[in-house]
Structure 1
């Protein structure tokens, strides 16, 4: 079992000093991964519905902007030696796929083969328009083709491509990624099309849950894993080769705290309760958790990382916890 964290790419915590402290703490505590998120520009007026907010609203103002994820990953690679470095998720249609493949391959080489590409189609129509990306309505087919083209850039030499959205003839695309087989691609999202993409052409499924209205409670999650596996079989793939991950908020209460009464949000509670939640999702196929730290400040986030390692991870059964 692998455990990692999403690092802040925006807001008051998105500073070099804070990011380095979080990354160093994650590495010192033997966590597996750190992930970063993606926006290029933030349209100040928009009508797009944010899929991970009950109101559908997305905050558009931060005092220090939004850090570019691939640049941030390069910075973090230089501050760490072992942690996997992932995107959660990179919006694939926003960028030239050949340039993106080159940047990721370079990062994989320089980091010693530690990159995970969490890939998404995007939801912010106005951001597509500002970037002059392919039409928002075609973002699904564009993503499919760009991902296949990126894999081609990582595996063939020279590379030629004749697709619906991109064409090129016999170019050298070096260096190739350090990882054998190329950089693993984890598809984000939980729509029917995302599940098809995860099972058919991805190395993993990387949904976000427990953020209303996107809850992915155990029964729903189990059904969607089954769909991913079914698509993998239809594509002639071994379903067991598709990594199942899960990103969600995490809050482990201090030992002296009393459990909240009434209904409890999963992964927010006592150490014993959070351990039970991990066991539940592990039984559904999850092998890599990515947590959003629920704490008001850096001190609280660092303490939460320690508390999870000491009081939850260390007490998982040998069959579940990372060797």
Structure 2
């Protein structure tokens, strides 16, 4: 299993020094990848429902306007590290023009010597779409699907040519190609039926988050049932279902106490080190190849870089070492 952690690009931890310190610490501890989320502008008032909290409220809304751009941040981190892979978690696909985004992704992959992982999603915050002058919120799923096809055309064809409802290009030379062949691995997120269809059709890795109240994936067997749907979708479009890998994202704040779901069950990856090690073993049994943890703390205002580094070290020494051994 490959282990990753979230880097901050919002709040007081997202300084130049903080990012370098966390990235280097994670790499030295043997984490396999690190991830950065995606917001470009933060609306002052958000009424859109956030998919991953029970209340529907977006955490960290107090940091109005405070966000480092995702791809720029990953390019910076690439220059400060040498081994760990770099994940867009996720890139909101419709926010950027397809050709420009494809070029930036290819550039980072080349300059990082093939370390980029491309997590792609359709987005959820209508206010951010509007703030950026985009009228594609209602069609964001279709835009995302088309962008993925366009990316693959740019990254693999010697004479890229694409004509769709949202993306069209021809008569272009697209060089250099990404270092990874045929292209950087594409991770798609989401737990809805549409997201599972997208993963089956396009993804190298399906990348759900376990705490979506509408599709809560707190039990490994339920996660596996959703992954089976992804594989069924892949088979229906003529892909090899076994070519798709499984990732899983969860928060971990090293509280050493168990949380419970609304049904009274223990929340996965909470509790003692032994309980969490057992959880990871079960995730591994159902096919999880990549586990991403958030070590930043739920309240970014009260968290520090030092505390995040301590959580990272505890996870590495007390949990990853047990899983490996």
TM-score, normalised by the number of residues in structure 1: 0.92
Aligned to 2:293: 291
Report the more deviating stretch, 212-221 or 289-298: 212-221
Distance 1:168 1:72, change over 3 A: same
Distance in 2, matches of 1:154 and 1:163, equals 17
Asked whether the equivalents of residues 29 and 316 of structure 2 are also in contact (C-alpha less than 8 Å), the reply is: yes
Aligned to 1:175: 176
Quote the offset at 1:60 in angstroms.
3.1
TM-score, normalised by the number of residues in structure 2: 0.92
Aligned to 1:309: 316
Quote the offset at 1:317 in angstroms.
5.4
Gaps of 5+ in 1: 319-323
Distance 1:4 1:17, change over 3 A: same
Aligned to 1:99: 100
Aligned to 2:270: 268
Distance in 1, matches of 2:70 and 2:96, equals 12
Q: Tell me the alpha carbon deviations over residues 74-108 of structure 1, each in whole angstroms, 9 at most, x when there is no partner.
A: 00000000010011100001110110000000000
Quote the offset at 1:22 in angstroms.
0.8
Asked whether the equivalents of residues 12 and 64 of structure 1 are also in contact (C-alpha less than 8 Å), the reply is: no
Distance in 2, matches of 1:258 and 1:146, equals 42
Aligned to 1:18: 18
Asked whether the equivalents of residues 249 and 293 of structure 2 are also in contact (C-alpha less than 8 Å), the reply is: yes
Q: Tell me the alpha carbon deviations over residues 202-246 of structure 1, each in whole angstroms, 9 at most, x when there is no partner.
A: 111111113656531223312111101111111222222112100
Distance in 1, matches of 2:294 and 2:160, equals 38
Gaps of 5+ in 2: 298-302
Asked whether the equivalents of residues 210 and 265 of structure 1 are also in contact (C-alpha less than 8 Å), the reply is: no
Aligned to 1:53: 53
Distance 1:230 1:104, change over 3 A: same
Q: Tell me the alpha carbon deviations over residues 19-65 of structure 1, each in whole angstroms, 9 at most, x when there is no partner.
A: 11110011101110000000111111232111112211224331771
Distance 1:160 1:211, change over 3 A: closer
Distance in 1, matches of 2:245 and 2:111, equals 24
3-state SS, counterpart of residue 171 of structure 2: strand
Aligned to 1:156: 157
Aligned to 2:42: 42
Asked whether the equivalents of residues 12 and 63 of structure 1 are also in contact (C-alpha less than 8 Å), the reply is: no
Distance in 2, matches of 1:314 and 1:46, equals 41
Match of 2:233 among 231, 251, 257: 231
Quote the offset at 1:161 in angstroms.
1.2
3-state SS, counterpart of residue 288 of structure 2: coil
Q: Tell me the alpha carbon deviations over residues 272-311 of structure 1, each in whole angstroms, 9 at most, x when there is no partner.
A: 1110110111111110001011544322221221112212
Distance in 2, matches of 1:138 and 1:287, equals 31
Asked whether the equivalents of residues 86 and 116 of structure 1 are also in contact (C-alpha less than 8 Å), the reply is: yes
Asked whether the equivalents of residues 158 and 171 of structure 1 are also in contact (C-alpha less than 8 Å), the reply is: yes
Quote the offset at 1:258 in angstroms.
7.1
Distance in 1, matches of 2:124 and 2:7, equals 21
Distance in 1, matches of 2:65 and 2:150, equals 34
Distance in 1, matches of 2:322 and 2:179, equals 34
Report the more deviating stretch, 192-201 or 162-171: 162-171
What is the root-mean-square deviation of aligned Cα atoms in Å?
1.9
Distance in 1, matches of 2:140 and 2:10, equals 25
